A and B are shown apart, each in its own frame.
Chain A
Amino acid sequence: MSTPTQQELDEYRAEANAWFAQNTPKDPGFMLPLTFMEVGTEQQFNFLREWQNKVYEAGYIGAAWPKEYGGRGLDQKFQDIAAREMKKADTPIMLNAIGNSWAGPLILDLGTEAEKKKYLKGILSAEDIWCQGFSEPDHGSDLGNAQTRAVKEGNEYVINGSKIWTTQGNFAKYMILLARTNPNAENKYAGLSFFLAPMHAKGVETVPIRKLTGEYGFTQTFFTDARIPEDTLMGEEGEGWKIAMRTLEYERGARQGQAGGHVMKQMDPSDILDIARKATINGKPAIEDPDIRKELVELLSEARGLQLSASRAGIQPLVQDNPLSLPLSLKLLNSEYIRRLNQFAIKLQGLKGAYYIDEPNGFDKGIWQRGYLNAFSATIGGGTSQIQRNIIGEHVLGLPKTR
């Protein structure tokens, strides 16, 4: 693949820009999820599936994946441009996030030829929705201790156990599944294996979990003597932990190769200024309130600080004291910040802070109220803020372990 010329890239950008301007759906008349973790209704699901399929057919996701697996075989630069144009057009999110961003690049990276042929195109077209089965009800932060069992019987594995926080579990056709094949391995990690498991097998049942918002988006998945073919094992038995860690690198964006396109819409700090201008507190524009003005400056300053810290993390002379510090701190700082930003957006509404989703009398139909409650997914998921502080205290400051 030759390096694309600036002209080629510019032309591609103009085409993508025009396509998204033309094709971005208008308001569907119901509330769309802001993240892939909030797909709670069939209506939302069908709408977003159709949208991803349309974007795929136009070539704006999976553009850098090989042609033989359903991609376009273009340089990554093209995909990056498409993703930026998609974001700029403020389109709905890409539905099949776990397929597009985690399972897909993982299969491209470590999968067999047969696995690539079987799974990749269906991911991009959103025909095959993927979910992830890592966390268990009793093993959240301690993932390596996962207890879901996989026992080889003939040419099948028999799965028993339960997985939780399965995003889109009720819609998914496949799951990337971490299960224990050898309970007697020399350590807890060595007993784990990784499966590309079919969700429609007999004995697999999903039960929706109702979130604090009142909406759905996750399931708990139960395996009761569920039989899955032996060729759904990825790699070898005992390689599960290694493959799961690779998956987390894709999940956290530490490794490139995702299909592209945004899977989350986060509140932008500049949104808070718009809200402060529109909203009223006690009959007056919020932005005129002296206390509100002070808090706005603090929140906008903080947003800059986080963005600057992400930049500084890559500047060696400015992180030589402890290069691990910023990478380990940013998840904590960002997730807590977003939670407080959404909380403040409710405060800006004064009396109308009392309204909730879809209420016509509400401010912005209550989306910030929902945003605040959903923001806890990031301060709890992927290691709670309290666990993050332990990690920073122990791995960055060198304090002794808590426990």
Chain B
Amino acid sequence: MTKTAKSERATLGVSEEQAQLLDIATSFCRDKSPIDKVRRLLEDEQGFETADWQEMADLGWLGIAVPEEFGGIGLSLAEVVPVVEQMGRTLMSSPFVQTTLAAQLILKGGSAAQKSALLPDLASGTIATLALSEESADWDLTNLACTATDKGDELALSGKKLLVVFAASADLILATVSYQGAPAIVVLTKEQIAEGGLRRENIIDETRRSYELTLDGITVPKSALLPTENVLPALAHLELAASLLLAAEMCGGSVSVVNYTVEYLKTRKQFDKIIGSFQALKHPIVDAHTANEVARSHLYSAAHNFGEQGEGEIATRIAKAEANKAFAFSADRAIQFHGGFGFTYECDAQLYRRRSLWCEAQHGDTNYHQRKLEELML
């Protein structure tokens, strides 16, 4: 047996604040997002309740990872993870993740003036979102067809951004465009978007709202650009931050859909037997459960190491890839194991499966992250 230096042991830990937020978020999300409310909000144009949003803002959750000097709590994304995980468990939906990520993008990419001007608002409940995707459907955030061109002292924008989540509720939109041949980030306000500039898209996860944003005709002052030299590192950070929070949401959802299915397996009878006693159902649901356990270990390792050079990226990409797989398997089997009921709109399994498809499609599927991991690990 040949021996090479063994790789460093992967690590995981939990901060006191993480543990506290996990407890608080568990009861908050349970109270605010019972399944009948989730169902009711599917039909709601806005897709979330303003009162709930305000309460999250009052709890300080929008500033968890924003430094104190900008009005935040001054913790890190590691402490955002348990909150998003619990939102995932209860299928809760809101612009929480988008607003948190927008703050991260400004924190990493904004000028001093932009940080001072924008972060305190975001930390206290101003809704923001990100306009990153385009027709190319490239997960590479720097492959951009939308443009900004000089027009006097201003910038004229053109092109279409896709999958802009909760855009209709957002006061601020951070959009990526190509400017002078390089990726750039511009800050748009609600007022700058033209009448008819947002078209609601029909998306698979009905707990969310998503829009196509037409940039044509929008002009913004040059001061709306984030400093050029910050753009690439800020986008690299954003991809990982988004992957971490998606992994958290998926881990939560995957645990929840297994619980939902287990309840059914414990009560449904066929052939005079509770169907959960059949190994054909028991063993795969155990496999879904153990995959969730491992995915959750990856998630908390990614949270713990997020800021570490190298290790943070490896742990985060693994967390996203493994959460993609775990949630897809759990939710897919959940539909099947509910039998005929599973084929109906009324069965909640479809809510989870649709959400898992949405989450997997955002910021890289399993193959995408594994290709990146090949470079990092082999």
Contacts and interface: CB of A to CB of B under 8 A. Distances in A.
Contacts of B11: 308, 311
Contacts of A265: 1
Interface in A66-116: 90
B286 interface: yes
Contact of A392 (B10, B286, B297, B300): B286
B284 to A, nearest CB: 9
B290 to A, nearest CB: 5
A312 B297 contact: yes
Interface in A298-342: 298, 300-302, 304-309, 311-312, 315, 317-318, 321, 325-326, 329, 332-333
A269 to B, nearest CB: 8
Decide if the interface of chain A is mainly helix, strand, loop or mixed.
helix
B6 A308 contact: no
B266 A315 contact: no
A391 B283 CA distance: 10
Interface string B1-28: 1111011011111100011001000000
B333 interface: no
A397 B289 contact: yes
Nearest to A388: B286
A350 interface: no
A308 B12 contact: yes
A311 B258 CA distance: 23
A393 B294 contact: no
Contacts of A304: 10, 298, 301, 318
B6 A301 contact: no
Interface stretch (A149-157, A198-206, A234-242, A270-278): A270-278
A362 B39 CA distance: 61
A305 B315 CA distance: 10
A315 B12 contact: yes
A271 B9 CA distance: 15
Contacts of B283: 386, 389, 393
Interface of A: 90, 265, 268-271, 273-274, 276, 278, 287, 293-294, 296-298, 300-302, 304-309, 311-312, 315, 317-318, 321, 325-326, 329, 332-333, 364, 367, 386, 389-390, 392-393, 396-403
Interface stretch (B29-37, B192-200, B271-279): B271-279
Contact of A274 (B2, B286, B367): B2
B1 A306 contact: no
A321 B89 CA distance: 12
B373 interface: yes
A388 to B, nearest CB: 8
B2 A271 contact: yes
B12 to A, nearest CB: 5
Main secondary structure of the interface of B (DSSP, over half): helix
A342 B277 CA distance: 33
Given A311-B297, A321-B255, A402-B279, 14 more contacts: A293-B374, A294-B367, A308-B297, A308-B298, A312-B300, A315-B13, A315-B14, A318-B14, A389-B282, A393-B286, A397-B258, A397-B262, A399-B266, A401-B277
Output the residue of B13, B282, B301 with the most chain A CB within 10 A.
B282
A389 B2 contact: no
B285 A308 contact: no
Looking at A308, A309, A367, A386, the one whose CB has the most chain B CB atoms below 10 A away is A308
Interface of B: 1-4, 6-7, 9-14, 18-19, 22, 255, 258, 262, 265-266, 274, 276-279, 282-283, 285-287, 289-290, 293-298, 300-301, 318, 321-322, 367, 370-371, 373-374, 377-378
Contacts of B374: 293-294, 296-297
Nearest to A333: B290
28 contacts: A273-B4, A273-B378, A276-B378, A278-B2, A296-B378, A297-B373, A297-B378, A301-B373, A304-B298, A308-B10, A308-B12, A308-B300, A312-B12, A315-B13, A317-B19, A318-B14, A326-B293, A329-B289, A332-B290, A386-B279, A389-B283, A390-B279, A392-B289, A393-B285, A399-B266, A399-B282, A402-B277, A402-B279
B1 A367 contact: yes
Contacts of B377: 296-297, 300
A89 to B, nearest CB: 11
A399 B262 contact: yes
A141 to B, nearest CB: 15
Given A304-B301, A311-B11, A401-B277, A297 B370 contact: yes
Contacts of A398: 262, 266
Contacts of A390: 279, 282
Contacts of A301: 298, 318, 321-322, 373
Contacts of A307: 9-10
A317 B14 contact: yes
Closest 10 CB pairs of A and B: A317-B19, A308-B297, A399-B276, A305-B294, A393-B282, A309-B297, A400-B277, A304-B10, A389-B283, A389-B286
A248 B90 CA distance: 40
Contacts of A332: 290
A397 B293 contact: no
Nearest to A278: B2
Contacts of B6: 268, 270
A317 B277 contact: no
Contacts of A400: 266, 274, 276-277
Nearest to A292: B378
